Copies of this chain bind each other. A is one copy, B any other.
Amino acid sequence: MPYPEVLRDQVDRYLADMRFSSEPATAGLEEAMRYSLLAGGKRIRPVLALATASAIGIDPVSVLPLAAALELIHTYSLIHDDLPAMDDDDLRRGRPTCHKAYGEDVAILAGDGLYAEAFHHLLKSQAGDPALILACAAQLASATGVSGMVGGQYLDVGDRGDAGDAGIRRIHELKTGRLIGASVGCVLILAGSPQPATLAFHEFAAELGVLFQIVDDILDVTGSETDLGKPHGSDERQGTRTYVSEFGLDGARDLATRSHAAAIAALESIEAPSVEVDRAKGLRDIADFVWTRTS
């Protein structure tokens, strides 16, 4: 099994074992949370965290609580993004979206609950130096707040960003880039990695976030509905500005190729003393996967 899949299995098993409450009265809320959390998915953020741990020579298992928190937060953002007042999507990963399955009130609360439980789990279960865990959690909160995921969704849903390449890039830097960046950055913080050694990692993560979004936009046009688990062309129908709408399909593919190359170059610039080359292979595999994925 390729290395990222080994890590994904680890993440999936860990997530499947998570319980959020022992109270029977709130079992329905927990069911809605787990419905969305365990709907499959690529688990790119937690896998990235585990592969980063490998790359810097620490045991991936030791960052599983952080990895789980990343996926809980990602799932919460999908549930809220799918709501009727936002993107109004009926299908996600081939199944009814959370509000279609459980009602809009429960979906809002399932998102809220996943976000709270993400912090609860990270703060309670992550082992390490308390000062480093604190810094890691602060980074995660920042990456998901107004200067991160929530701010990016605000720009995206109301088409409020600036026009052109810089505008699209900024929306995605905030909406998806900062959480992908935190998937790498939070592990470096936990490990207490010194600042200079981490610059190339941050460059890699930033470029990976861009690559992820470009490929997402391409797949929305070219992907099979079975693979995607939702109707394609939804960006175009909603008038969303994408890399494809701005640069055409060939232009977007060209941007993806350049972005992938830049991500790999960032990895290769990580100097030998701070990381063994074969250890970073997991990160390289993830970049390849993000580039060539079909869903």
Contacts and interface: CB of A to CB of B under 8 A. Distances in A.
A147 B106 contact: no
A157 B120 CA distance: 24
Contact of A145 (B20, B103, B105, B146): B20
B138 A26 contact: no
A191 interface: no
Contacts of A246: none
B86 A145 contact: no
Contact of A162 (B25, B113, B161): B25
A20 to B, nearest CB: 4
Contacts of A116: 115, 141-142, 144-146, 148-150
Nearest to A88: B105
Nearest to A26: B151
A117 B146 contact: yes
A47 interface: no
Given A106-B158, A138-B120, A141-B120, A112 B113 contact: no
Interface string A116-147: 11011001100001110110011001101111
Given A108-B86, A147-B23, A123 B113 contact: no
Given A80-B112, A113-B145, A145-B117, A138 B150 contact: no
Q: Indicate how many identical chains form the complex.
A: 2
Interface string A80-123: 10010110000000000000000111101101110111011001
A29 interface: yes
Nearest to A157: B105
Given A86-B108, A105-B157, A108-B83, A146 B21 contact: yes
Interface string A161-176: 1100000001000100
Contacts of A113: 145-146, 150-151, 154
A160 interface: yes
A70 interface: no
Q: Which 5 A-B residue pairs are closest in the complex by CB-CB distance?
A: A116-B145, A85-B104, A120-B141, A123-B138, A130-B131
